[in-house]
Structure 1
Amino acid sequence: MIFNLFRRFSLHRGSAEFGRLKRIILYTLMINVLFAILFKYVEAVSWNEAIWQTWQTATTVGYGNRPAETLFGRIITMTLSTVSIAFVGAMFSAVFDYKEYHKTQKKLGYMKNPFNDGYVIFNFPATSIAKNFIEELRAIEKDVGICFVDNNIEALPLEIQEIPNIHFVKGCPLQKSTYLNANINQNKTIIVFPNAQDNSSADGATKTTVDLLERFVTEGTRVLFVLVEKANTWMFEDNNATYINADLSVLAIVQECQDPYSAMVVEDLLYNTKGANPVTVEINRLEGMNWMDLQLKIMKASVSLKQQCNVIALIQNGKTDACPNPETVLNKGDLLSIATYSNFSWKEIEREILVLQD
C-alpha cells in the first residue's frame, strides 16, 4: 500500500493535489523539527528523548513518561499539540484527496498504461465483445494486463472497470502522447478495432493508426487489425500488421449450412474456454519427413508421451494449407498448427519421433 502511494506521487507531481500534500508534509516536518530542538535545549534532554516527546505530542498519543517540567517547555508542548492536531488532520485529508484524485485520473484515462507484456486495444468495442475478449484471453493467460485506448468514451463501462488488471488510456490516435501513454513498445500485442463498426470509411482511420503504431512497436510486438470492409485490405499491403476478418460469424453460418456441426468444431478451436486450442510449432528436427509420415509419427509419439493433439495445417513460407499433399516434404523452419491442450510439449514430441524412427 505504501509502495503504491509513493508510485502515485511520482505519477502526479505536477498536480495541485500533490503540491498541497507536499506543502502540508513540509510544514508539519518543519514544526516538529523546531519543537524537537527547543525541547532538547529547554528541558535539557537527549536528542532521542526530544524526538520521542515530539512524536508523542504531535500524534496526541501523550504517553507522559517524560513530560515537560519547565514553564517554557510546557508552553512549547501546548503550542505543538494544538498546531499538530490541525496539521495532522490536514495531512490525512490531503492524502485522501490525493488518493481520490489518482482514482479519478485513472478512471478518466489520464494515466500511463502500467502493464508490460500484455495487450493494448485501440477503439473500445461493445461491452459484450470486450468482456468475452477478456474472458477468452485469461482462460490461457491468467491476470494478463489489458489496456483499452479510446478517444470517444469518457470512461470504461463500470462492469469492465471492476475487472482486475484492466486499464484505460484516453487519447487520440493522431497524438504521439497516446502511443507513449499506452506503453506500446512494452506490450506484446496491439489490436485495432474500427472506430465505427458499420462504416467502411472507418478502415481509413484504422490504416492511419496501424501506420503510426509501426513507428513505436518493437520487433517482438504484433499488430492485429479488424476491418469493416474486407475489400480495404489493399491499403495494408506495406504493413507488417495481421488482418483479422470481422465476418467470422457469417463464415461460420455459411459453413454450417454446407456441413452440419462444422461451425461448432471451429468454435471449439477458437474459444480458449472450450478446451483444445490451436498451437503453432516450428519444425526443427524433422526436416525431410513427408506430411503422411509426420501425421502417423505424431500420433504414435503422442500416445507414448500421453499427450493429446491433432495436426490442423501446414504453414510454409507464410501460406497455410489445411490439406497438404501426403508427399509434401517438410523443411526446417516450416510451421505446424496443432490442436492441443496447454500442457503440450512440441520438443518432447519431436524427440520421441526421432526415437521411434531409430
Structure 2
Amino acid sequence: MNPYRDKPGRPHRRAIYQTDWQLKKRIQRLFLILFCLLLLHVFAMVTLESMSLQQAAWLTLTTITTVGYGDLSATTPAGQIATVVLMYITGITLVTLIFSDYVDYRFYRRERIRTGRWRWNMVNHILLINAPKYGGTQYYMRFVQQLRANSDYKSTPIQILTTDFSDSIPPELAELGVAHFHGSGTNLHDLSAVNVHEAKHIIILAKDSNDISSDSDTFDTLHRLSEFNLSKRCIVECVDDENRSRLAKLGAQSILRPVRTYPEIIIRALIAPGSEKVLEDLFTHENDHPHRYEVEVTEMNWSEIVCALIQSNLGTAMAYIDHENEVICNPIATSPINAKAIIVLVKTEVTATEQDIRDSIERYKTRMAQWHAMKAANSQL
C-alpha cells in the first residue's frame, strides 16, 4: 500500500510538501511557535496567578502533555482563559500538527529511500554509476563483499547511481549497507544528488559489456565529471579498446575492460592503483600473459628460479606445479622446490620455448657454481 496515495476529493499533504526539506522546515516552524506559546503561558501564570517561575513552568508542561496532575491550576478568570486559549485550543492543536507532520515525514523518507530518491549527503564514499545489464545484483554483492574484506574499506560508504532498481534496491544489497539513488550519470541533478564532488572514488560501469554503444554513455558521464575536475577519481569500463584513447583524454584514473565475473580487478584499482593493469592482462593473450612450461626443476629454491629467468629476460616466474599437481603460487623465496612445471609471466611477442627456460636455469646454475668456487678460493688466500 502506498502511504502517499491521495484520498478521493482531498489533496494529500505530499502534494503540498514535495521535499523532506519543506517538511522539516514546517516542523521547525511549528516547534518555534509552540515554544513561544509555552513561554507566553508561563508568563501569564506568573503575572495573572502570582505563581513562581517553577510552578508556572510545571503547570504549563503538565497541561500541554495532557497529564494534568491537578496539584496546580489557574484560579482567576484571566488565568483560566489564558490556559484555555494558549494550551487547550492552540498548544495541543500544535502538538497534534507536529506529530502528524513528523509521521508524514517518516513515511515520505521511507518511501524515498525505497524508490531510490533520497539524498544521503555522503562524504568520502565510493560511487558506482550504472548497473550491469545482466546479473547486476550478484555483481554488486561480490564487489561489496570483496571490498569489505580490505580493512581500509571496511566501513567506507557505498552508493549506486542507476536507473535500475526503480521499485526498490534488492534486499541483499540493502543488508550490505549499500545506498541507492535512482538516476543517471549523465544528469547533473542526479550527480549532485549523490554528492559526487565528495566521492572518494567514482566507478563508471559499462551498462552492457557486450554492446560497444555502452561506451557512448560512459563517455558522456566521464565528460560531465571532467567538467568538474573529477575524472582523476574515476575508474572506467570500456567495451571497445578503440575507445580507450577517447576516455584517456578526459583524464580517467584507470580504464578497464568489463569483467563481470571478476569485480576484484576494479577493487585492485582502488586499493593498489596500477595493479589492475597486470590483472587485466592476465585475462587476455595479448601483451603480458601467464604461460605454463613443462620443465622439471630440482635442487633450487624459488628465488634462484626467479633470478634465472629475469637475467635471461624470459619473464617473471609466478608459480610452480609440484608432482602432486598442486599449484604453488608465490612461494617463499628461500624454499627449495621440486617442480614438474612452472608458470611464467611472459611477453606475447617474445614468448620463450621450454628449451629456453631449461637453458636459462642451467646457465644460472653454472654461474652460481663458479661464484661459489671463486668465493671458496678467495677465502683460502
Unpaired stretches in structure 1, ≥5 consecutive residues? 1-10, 250-266, 273-277, 283-290, 296-308, 312-320, 325-358
| 3-state secondary structure, aligned to 1:233 | helix
Given that residues 237 and 257 in structure 2 are in contact (C-alpha distance below 8 angstroms), is that contact kept between their aligned partners in structure 1? yes
TM-score relative to the length of structure 1: 0.60
Aligned runs of 1:198-347 on 2, under 5 Å?
198-218=210-230, 222-241=233-252, 242-247=254-259, 292=307, 310=330, 322=345
**Alignment match, 1:348:** none
Whether 2:167 is the aligned partner of 1:150: answer: no
Map residues 5-154 of structure 1 onto 2, 5 A cutoff.
14-15=21-22, 17-83=23-89, 84-125=91-132, 126-140=136-150, 141-154=153-166
The structure-2 alpha-carbon separation of the partners of 1:281 and 1:226, relative to structure 1 and needing over 3 Å to count, comes to: closer
Residues 118 and 170 of structure 1: CA distance in aligned 2, closer, same or farther (over 3 Å):
same
C-alpha change, 1:280 and 1:77, in structure 2 (3 Å) is closer
**Cα distance, 1:13–1:237 mapped onto 2, change above 3 Å:** closer
2:186 to 147, 156, 174: 174
Aligned positions, number: 260
Q: 1:322 to 1:61 in 2, by over 3 A?
A: farther
Give RMSD over aligned pairs: 3.8
1:201 and 1:209 mapped to 2: Cα distance? 13
Aligned equivalent of 2:351:
none
Displacement, 1:174? Answer: 3.2
How much does 1:94 deviate?
Answer: 1.2
State the Cα deviation string for residues 203-257 of structure 1 (Å, max 9, x = none). 11111211222233559x53112233344324324133212222475xxxxxxxx
Distance 1:268 1:175, change over 3 A: closer
* Conserved? CA contact 2:144–2:176, under 8 Å: no
Q: Match for residue 331 of structure 1?
A: none
**3-state DSSP class of the match of 1:212?**
helix
AA matched with 1:106: I
Q: Which amino acid aligns with 1:169?
A: F
Larger radius of gyration: 2
Which residues of structure 2 form unaligned runs of 5+? 1-17, 276-305, 311-328, 332-343, 348-381
Offset of residue 138 of structure 1: 1.0
Secondary structure of 1:34 counterpart: helix
Matching of residue 163 in structure 1 with residue 158 in structure 2: no
Report 1:339-358 matches (<5 A): none
* Compared CA separation, residues 190 and 271, structure 1 to 2 (3 A): closer
Q: CA deviation at 1:159?
A: 1.1
Q: CA deviation at 1:13?
A: 6.6
Shift of 1:166: 2.2
Q: Is the 2:126–2:201 contact (alpha carbons within 8 Å) kept by the matching residues of 1?
A: yes
1: distance between equivalents of 2:205 and 2:273?
24
1:192 aligns with 2:198: no
CA distance in 2, matches of 1:280, 1:310: 20
The share of aligned pairs that are identical, in percent, is: 22
Q: Secondary structure at the match of 1:168?
A: strand
What is the TM-score normalised by the length of structure 2?
0.57
